[in-house]
Amino acid sequence: MIGYVLKRILMVLVGYLVAVLVGLIAVAVIYAILSSLPNAPGYFELMAFTPVAALVVPPLGMFIYFLTIILTAMQTLLFALIAEFLSLRSFWLHILFGAAAAAAGFMLIWPDAADDPERWADMGIIAAAGLVAGLVYWLIAGREAGFRRPLIKALPGNV
């Protein structure tokens, strides 16, 4: 039993770290796509260039990665514990958790974002990247969420 719980904790941690990385890549891709649309604001072009700068200067990329982890860790831990204790394995629930965690992390940087219409697009982009991150987390750790093993698999003779 302890081995199974330790395995779940490791899967949650790995799922979270990979999901953050994929979420950051999703942000870059979304901004790049939006910057290619006709009449796109110049701001989107700047944001599409930022990931290139993070690749060219690895310490900047690591700073962005760790800052994202710091901004989203608490809410993600709360969501992961809820999913694990209640054995919630729903695909939709995990992607919604990802979007909510990303939006909450964004609100930590810009607490007045809801009052500023210029930040609404950024909030939507970050939430969309959170949806992608939630999907990745579900693929790695969410499909088998739950600290308790399913009863059917635990019975001898069931394969």
pLDDT in tens, 53-65: 777 788 888 998 9
39-43: list long-range contacts, CB under 8 Å, 24+ apart: none
Q: Is residue 127 domain-resident?
A: yes
> What sign does the dihedral 47-128-57-75 (CA atoms) show?
positive
Q: Kindly report the backbone phi and psi dihedral angles of residue 73, in degrees, each rounded to the nearest multiple of 5, phi listed first.
A: -65, -45
Residue 87 pLDDT? 84
> Above 80 in pLDDT, residue 159?
no
What mean pLDDT, rounded, does the chain reach? Answer: 85
Tens of pLDDT along 132-149? 999 999 999 888 887 665
Q: Is residue 24 domain-resident?
A: yes
Averaged pLDDT for residues 6-30: 91
> Above 70 in pLDDT, residue 151?
no
d(CA 8, CA 75): 18
pTM of the model: 0.83
Residue 5 pLDDT? 81
Q: Is residue 34 domain-resident?
A: yes
Give the pair of three-digit tokens for residue 51.
Answer: 């990931």
Q: Is residue 159 domain-resident?
A: no
Q: Which of 13, 145, 137 is nearest to 73 (CA)?
A: 13
Give the pair of three-digit tokens for residue 158.
Answer: 């069931």
Averaged pLDDT for residues 104-130: 87
The domain tally of the chain equals 1
> Above 60 in pLDDT, residue 119?
yes
Q: Which of 71, 85, 67 is nearest to 146 (CA)?
A: 85
Residue 136 pLDDT? 96
Tens of pLDDT along 82-107? 988 888 888 899 999 999 999 999 99
Give the structural domain span for 85. Answer: 2-154
